[in-house]
A and B are shown apart, each in its own frame.
Chain A
Amino acid sequence: MTRWCAFLACCLGVAAAAAADWPEFRGPGGRGLAAGEAAIRTTWSAEEGIAWKADLRGRGVSSPIVVGDLVVVTSSSGPRQERLHVIALDKATGEQRWERSFWATGRTLCHSTSAVAAGTPASDGERIVALFSSCDLVCLDLAGRLLWQRNLAVEHPRAGNDVGMGSSPRIIDGTVIVQIDCQGDPFAAGIDLATGDDLWSVPRDRIASWSSPLPVSLAGETAVLLQNPNGLELRRLADGELAWSWRGDCSGIPMTAAAGGMLYVPSAGIAAVPVGGGEPAWKGAKLSCGIASPVAWNGTVACVNRAGVLVIGAAEDGRVRGQVRLSGSFWASPIVVGDLLVAVGKEGITFLVSTGDTPEIVAQNELPGTFTATPAVADGSLYLRSETALWKVAAPD
């Protein structure tokens, strides 16, 4: 049935998709799932099906977010990538509404595959927070007014990572969570979104990771999940106290997916760990993640491995339901839009894949550039960010 739906959608040139804002890394709640019943286009190219393209100042690998009538994205420029930019574009036209620039106050060295603008900004609908690899955290209102800033590498002089910090900030119930994992002075903090003041700060293991905080419910209370190669920590939102932890091999880059009280942890394959539990319910070695994070939804877990193979498994036992070979390498995390999984390849090819037991490539569309940013989706439009440009794929007619 799913296959037929996908086929029909392809014939019609549309697929089910989102209608709401896309306010943070991997969308609402960081799940990588587009809610709502809007539709996205299934065929596009640089010449057709594009609402607008905006060339961006500098470069970056952070994802765009969509807040009201704005699309917000970050970048950096300068000989040492020391100029940090937060750029707001008109969602309808792609015209720049405003740009705010800051001088980096921390380290700006990073590997060529990353960028100083690697973390995706986040918004509660009224404010925007952006965290850069230099550990500079800025909070702006929707008109671009600086409300507060935190120079976290000034406050923690050994914070930073010369490979590049990649964690995105997360806003949960008015608290900005930052995860500064590194060898120098690692910590996580809950910062009051309204005032910029610390609510809590806790030390972390002295080991690098590029994972981002994830809201997870424990005993009916929202907590924040922090991941590094040593395992998982679930910390209370109010005071940062440790609510639960799990020690075990975790990947340092792809982040855990959460669904239905289970954590799908990228390690050697995927380990399904119950929230608040101990031993994994199952380990699926064939569900191997590369750089991109897994996505979990409706009893399904999917990941793209280093060979560019999309593997879809059953969330209940890790059994592989099907797989399909994409082409290229994948740094952007896949998202699910209706019955389609959207996987953006580094080389610019976006694959739309049906998500049934026998996944098939429904469509693949190419744009020029290097794409390592996870896409955003809102109002039936996909937002695809290359290192130097942002493309809005038009909603279907």
Chain B
Amino acid sequence: MGGQWKRILVAFVAAGGVVGPQTLAADLSSDLSSDLARLAAAAPGTGHAPLAAAADTLAAIPPAGIRPALAALANATPAGANWLRSGLDRAVERLGTEVSADTLAGFVTDPALPPRARSLAFGWLEARDGARAEDLLDGMLDESALDLRRAAVAKLLAPSSADEVAQREAHRRALTAARDVDQVEAIATWLTEHGEPVDVADVLGFIRRWRVSGEYDNVGGVGFATAYPPESADAAGSDPADWKGVESADTHGAVDLNAIIATKKGVLAYALATVTMPEAGLAEVRVGSPCAVVVWVNGRQVMAHEIYHASEAIDQYVAPAEFRAGENTVLVKCCQNEQTDPWAGDWKFQVRITDPLGLPLARQGAVEDSR
């Protein structure tokens, strides 16, 4: 049966035709699989018409087609995920209560489905039965879908009449589960105010102990692409000696180069840290800076952003990097430009190394003045 006829049949069934959805689902499987694969693999920028047609097919699937479509999100490209979602949302909207709340709840708690699929299903369930969705959050403190984990943490911390002992325990559990900075800070504030001081920078895993070298010329932005000695030496694995040991006391691990070197314009500095990783493998390097930054891990460049004074945020730039078990070096090149606007004075950066969910992985020993 051709794809076009299959689509007509699907539409016929959706309109109340005589063929049962289960029968159709079995019959449809190969075509549906083909469409799901096509949607999931969508490349950006091209081939829209066949993808729109495949999304139409997806929008017409029977209830039994929802789960395989959700599962297809596991390996979808960014464009593919949105194509799948566009068809899935329409399908669930069309099917209404043909997909029961129990079924939706089953998707949410199905560990075999990817986090994005569980999150999407949670949204459908929330729209259908908010209380049912809310109940599911109780088991989601370890959820790998970050939005669901966040909601679970928020629920755990919701105002209650529980006594302080119970609230304290809830906050301790929440601190372990939380991955979002604002939640960590709110929890830390509560615990600190209740006699349990929390070091936010430590919980979030910011690298605080660095050796700094600078300043170097960046007039006209020339330094961003210039390999000054610390950079060349890092690449060669050698030990330049002009490092100055510093330790950030900032809550967010910011290394303030204006304070360490001088308030200057058109300059850059390097900062080198040694971190210990529990095991070898990929981890995320997460950097925040209002200045242009380049970062190397063990001498290999992992990110370069020539952006000046266009906001700053924790985890502003994220890149994967290969680490080895034990000691690793992280080298940051932080460039200040010559803007004179009052909001363009900061010259600083912050770095942490985490897993994909934001759990800090890197640990540090004491600061050294030089290697």
Contacts and interface: CB of A to CB of B under 8 A. Distances in A.
Contacts of A148: 48, 51-52
**Main SS class of interface, A:** loop
B307 A103 contact: no
A155 B89 contact: no
B78 A208 contact: no
Nearest to B123: A101
B79 A162 contact: no
Contacts of B51: 148
Contact of B45 (A79, A110, A155): A155
A87 B195 CA distance: 47
Interface in A117-152: 136, 138, 144-151
A79 B49 CA distance: 33
Interface residues of B, number: 35
B82 A79 contact: no
Contacts of B83: 146, 149
B134 interface: no
Nearest to B48: A148
Chain A interface residue count: which class?
A: 35 or more
Interface string A155-197: 1001001110000000000000000001110000000000111
Contact of A105 (B52, B78, B310): B78
A100 interface: yes
Given A101-B89, A102-B85, A154-B79, A161 B310 contact: yes
B116 interface: yes
B150 interface: yes
B311 A196 contact: no
Interface string A89-109: 000000000101111010001
Contact of B49 (A98, A144, A195): A195
Contacts of A105: 44, 78-79, 82
**Main SS class of interface, B:** helix
Which one of A79, A98, A136, A184 has the greatest number of beta carbons of chain B within 10 Å?
Answer: A79
B6 to A, nearest CB: 19
Given A102-B86, A154-B44, A195-B49, A79 B180 contact: yes
Contacts of A136: 82
Nearest to B59: A145
Given A100-B89, A102-B82, A146-B86, A183 B147 contact: no
Contacts of B44: 105, 150-151, 154-155
A174 to B, nearest CB: 15
Nearest to A154: B44
A144 B217 CA distance: 54
Contacts of A163: 310-311
A145 to B, nearest CB: 7
A147 B180 contact: no
B46 interface: yes
Contacts of A220: none
A325 interface: no
Contacts of A208: 310
B311 A79 contact: no
A57 B68 CA distance: 28
A196 B48 contact: yes
A136 B45 CA distance: 11
Contacts of A78: 147
Nearest to A161: B310
Contacts of A184: 305-307
Which one of B44, B93, B116, B123 has the greatest number of beta carbons of chain A within 10 Å?
Answer: B44
A247 interface: no
A184 B44 CA distance: 19
B55 interface: yes
Which one of B83, B306, B307 has the greatest number of beta carbons of chain A within 10 Å?
Answer: B307
A151 B43 CA distance: 10
Contacts of B238: none
Contact of A162 (B81, B86, B150, B310): B310
A103 B48 contact: no
A194 B45 CA distance: 13
Interface in B76-109: 78-79, 81-83, 85-86, 89-90, 93
Given A79-B146, A155-B45, A145 B56 contact: yes
A183 B290 CA distance: 13
B308 interface: yes
Nearest to B51: A148
B75 interface: no
B48 A195 contact: yes
Contacts of B313: 109, 162
Interface in A269-309: none
A149 B85 contact: no
A129 to B, nearest CB: 13
A79 B78 contact: no
A155 B77 CA distance: 12
B78 A103 contact: yes
A183 B304 CA distance: 13
Interface in A206-233: 208
Contacts of B46: 197
A103 B82 contact: yes
Nearest to B93: A98
B316 interface: yes
Contacts of B82: 102-103, 105, 136, 138, 146, 149, 151
Interface of B: 44-46, 48-49, 51-52, 55-56, 59, 78-79, 81-83, 85-86, 89-90, 93, 116, 123, 146-147, 150, 180, 305-308, 310-313, 316
29 contacts: A79-B146, A79-B147, A79-B180, A102-B82, A102-B85, A105-B44, A105-B79, A136-B82, A145-B52, A145-B56, A146-B52, A146-B55, A146-B82, A146-B83, A148-B48, A149-B79, A151-B79, A154-B78, A154-B79, A155-B44, A161-B310, A162-B312, A162-B316, A163-B310, A183-B308, A184-B305, A195-B49, A196-B45, A208-B310
Closest 4 pairs (CB-CB, A-B)? A148-B48, A162-B311, A105-B78, A146-B86
Interface of A: 78-79, 98, 100-103, 105, 109-111, 136, 138, 144-151, 154-155, 158, 161-163, 182-184, 195-198, 208
